[in-house]
Structures are given as C-alpha cells and as structure tokens.
Amino acid sequence: MARTISIDPVTRIEGHARITLQLNDDGVVDDARFHVTQFRGFEKFCEGRPFYEMPSLMARTCGICPVSHLIAGAKACDDLFAVQIPYPAQMLRRLMNLAQILQSHALNFYYLSLPDLFFGMDADPAKRNIIAVAQENPELAQDGIRLRQIGQQIIETLGGKRIHPSWVVPGGVNAPLTPEHREMILGGVPEGLAILKRALEWFHAHRDAFKPEVNTFGNFSSYYLGIVNEKGNLEHYDGNFRVMDAAGNIVVDQLDTLKYQDLIAEANEAWTYEKFPYLKELGYPDGMYRVGPLARLNIATACDTYRADEELKNFRSSTTTPAASSFHYHWARLIEMIYCLERMEQILNDPDILSTHVRAFAKPNSFNGIGVAEAPRGTLIHHYRIDENGLMTWADLVIATVHNNLAMNRAVLQVAKSFVDGKELTDGALNRVEAVIRAFDPCLSCSTHADGRRDLQVDLIDADGRLVDSTTR
C-alpha cells in the first residue's frame, strides 16, 4: 500500500519545516516535499513606514544573518537616493558582510553539520550534537566556537552590537573605523586561518567516508547563480550576476543586479509558504538553480586570495566541474571562510580604510530601489518602492534560501529515493533526509520573512493520500 512519511520538525536548521515523503503502491518513494510551515509577512507590514527604517526593520527577519539584510536594505536605500556612497563606506560594509559570512558558516559547519559528519549518519541521534563532539574532540569543537566568536566580535567591534547593529545606514555607515579597532580585527585573522587549516585537515581525513552522500546529496544538474566582481571573481558585496549551466558554461555574465527581474521569476505552490524562484528564460521548474557557497565557487573564475585559491584548486580537481553534489556545500563553506579572513585582511590594509568620509547624505531621488548582496546562504535581493514623501508603498525580498527551494526539494527526493525504503523509517535514513537540507543551510525564518512551530516533521503518506506515519524530531 502506498504511504507518506513525514519528518516534522526538521532539526538543526534555522527555522521550522516539515518533509513529506510520498510512497507509491510498491512502497517506493515517489515524491518528496519540503514544506516551510511558517509565515511572516514583512513585505506587508513595512507599507507606509519611512524607507530609512527598512534596513533595520528587514534585518529583524533573521537573528543569524541580520547583517546581510542590513546591507541589502541599505543598498536598496542608496539606490533610492540614487547616489554613489563613499569608497571607505563600501569597504566597511563589505568588511561587516564578510564577518557575517564567517560567523554564519562557522555556525553551520561546526554546530549544525559537524555532528553528522563526525559521528556518521547512522549514529545515535542523542549523540549527534556539538556537545558530544566536544566530548570526543574538544579541540575541534573549541575551534568552532572560537571561529564563530571571531566573526561575531568583528560585527560587534564595527557595529557596537553582535546582533542587529544599526551602524549600516542608507548612504554608508554612521561611524568610521578607529585605528584600535582595525588592529583588533587584524589580530584575529591569523588565529582564524589556523583554525580553518585544522578544519580542512579534519575534513579531508574524513571526506572519503561520505562517498555515498556525495553521490546522493542533491547531486544533480542545475544552474548556479550568484554575483561576481568585474573580473569574474568571488564577490559578496557588490557585483553583477553570473549564471552557469550544469556543464560549466557561463550563460549570463555581468548582468546588472538591478535587472534581477529580467533574470528570475517566482512561482507559488499551495503546500508551502516558500516561493519557488526560477530562471525566467527557462521557465518553471526547468529554470532550477542553486545559490550560496557552492554556486559562488562554481561560477567564480577565482577567489583572488592566495590560500582560498589554493584550496579552490584542490576542490575543483576533486569534484566535477561545476561541483554538482550539494554535499560539497560544506567544503565550499570552508573555502569561503578562508576567503573571508584573507579578504578582511586586505581591506583592513587598504590605505583609505580609516577615512572619516563614510556617509553620503541625500534625499530620495528615485521611487524604486534595489539592493543585492551575497548573504551566507546565497544571493539576497531587497527591492523597495516609495511614494514622493519617502514612505514605503511596496517591498519584495528574494532571500537566499528561497532561490534554493526547487533544488532543496529535488535533493530531498533524491536522498529519500536512495535511503528511505517504504517499509521502515530508520533513523539513519531520516537523518540523511534532514542532513541534506542542512547541507543547504536553509534559513526559513528569513525565507518566509514567524509565527509558527519549532523544528522538523516528516509525514509518510500512502497512494490514497492517507497519513500513515509521522515522526517529529
């Protein structure tokens, strides 16, 4: 008899979700759906508010990556001003965004994903957590805590607060960098790089054990989307769109991010609060693409920092080109963390970084403003419209996790087909289904912009649509 399996809630992800596995009459997984069960409505309640509140207001969508929202929001406001913000302000915002990516990647790698990687997918669920990792390998766990702290401290040093700083403002930032703070941040770079060296050594020593996961964790063809700088290299703050196809051909390059609506469109499905963006030209669902660390490293010509490029070479020689398995998001995150530290060092050594010219003052000169930046999980788009007095009339946020929605659903189906057999819901199988979601590091609070539930539910539904089994974790 056909059944449906439900995993609800999905654990160790940022937000609340449920997975439904549909079995056919032979008890084989037929379809899988990743439902986001929370709804938020930020785009609605911003209406009528002054535009300059938006960076801080929209940043409240998320406690993990508020900085990315601040930055995309402030960039959208710069676009409403229709001004070029001072160079030092751009560099300072970029610095904070890199610190944000560093801390968020460290959170995903060490706190959320490492327990699966360290103990293996079939290990006792009670054991798969960072505390248990700390008991067995204290150095590794401490490294994770410290690395995240380095990122958080940089955010705090720059913005005066770890979470939700209001330093990034329309037109720039509201205070320059002091020489003491510059030294403080620089001081953390060598330690961070040493931690990442150890992390890579550990990762490479254990990588082979995950061959089955590499093959089945969202290992499929898709497009890859992100922003790159004018040389085509890795970029997170300000660049143009590049899209690569599954064969590694660059199909869109240096497209102005303000034209995002020419590139992507969004579809809705009744069973989830999350939208499904797709590449407009290819239609839905063929225009499925991935964003985030894996996509960024696939599309970038190079990182353009020494150590990150060394590891990127290693990455490219050991994976397909472009790397198709979503399992490689983990490796990509490690490389990006190295890049973040190296790039921060470059920025801090820029002769203009201590300049006090960090803000442009203007009034709105345009009724339409778009801000695009790379958040830890991928491309983040804030689009605002205002009336002639500067009050918001409309907003659209396209969030990193949402871009990956089609791909995540596909990945869950692939893993479920390989590891779930309809007769028995083993812990190892269910955990793999969850782990593939974790590889994407989705942030559901952001993506549904919450009221709602904690954690992941998996439902098993038969061919007649009856709920046969359901587990909550």
Partner 1 sequence: MDEQPIAIKTLTIDGKEVGARSGDTILQVAQEHGIWIPTLCFLDGLTAYGSCRICMVELEGNNRLFPACVTKVYEGMVVIIHSPRLEHYRRVIVEMLLSERPHICSVCVSNGHCELQTMAQLLGVTSVRYPYLMRKHDVDASNHRFLHDDNRCILCGRCVRVCSEIEGAHTWAFSGRGVESRIVTDLDQPWGESESCTGCSKCVHVCPTGALIEKGRSVAEMAKRRQFLPYLTVMRKEDAE
Please report, as ranges, the residues that interact with partner 1 according to CB under 8 A: 48-50, 52-53, 55-57, 60, 164, 166, 169-170, 174, 361, 363, 389-391
User: Which CB, 364 or 378, lies closer to partner 1?
Assistant: 364
In the complex, the smallest distance separating the C-beta of residue 241 from partner 1, rounded to whole angstroms, is 28
In the complex, the smallest distance separating the C-beta of residue 390 from partner 1, rounded to whole angstroms, is 5
User: Which CB, 39 or 45, lies closer to partner 1?
Assistant: 45
In the complex, the smallest distance separating the C-beta of residue 57 from partner 1, rounded to whole angstroms, is 5
User: Which CB, 115 or 371, lies closer to partner 1?
Assistant: 371
User: Which CB, 66 or 239, lies closer to partner 1?
Assistant: 66
Which residues lie across from 360 on neighbouring strands? none
In the complex, the smallest distance separating the C-beta of residue 81 from partner 1, rounded to whole angstroms, is 10
In the complex, the smallest distance separating the C-beta of residue 385 from partner 1, rounded to whole angstroms, is 15
User: Which CB, 57 or 347, lies closer to partner 1?
Assistant: 57
Which residues lie across from 93 on neighbouring strands? none
In the complex, the smallest distance separating the C-beta of residue 319 from partner 1, rounded to whole angstroms, is 43
User: Which CB, 363 or 423, lies closer to partner 1?
Assistant: 363
In the complex, the smallest distance separating the C-beta of residue 260 from partner 1, rounded to whole angstroms, is 25
User: Which CB, 301 or 393, lies closer to partner 1?
Assistant: 393
User: Which CB, 164 or 204, lies closer to partner 1?
Assistant: 164
In the complex, the smallest distance separating the C-beta of residue 371 from partner 1, rounded to whole angstroms, is 15
User: Which CB, 306 or 361, lies closer to partner 1?
Assistant: 361
In the complex, the smallest distance separating the C-beta of residue 98 from partner 1, rounded to whole angstroms, is 22
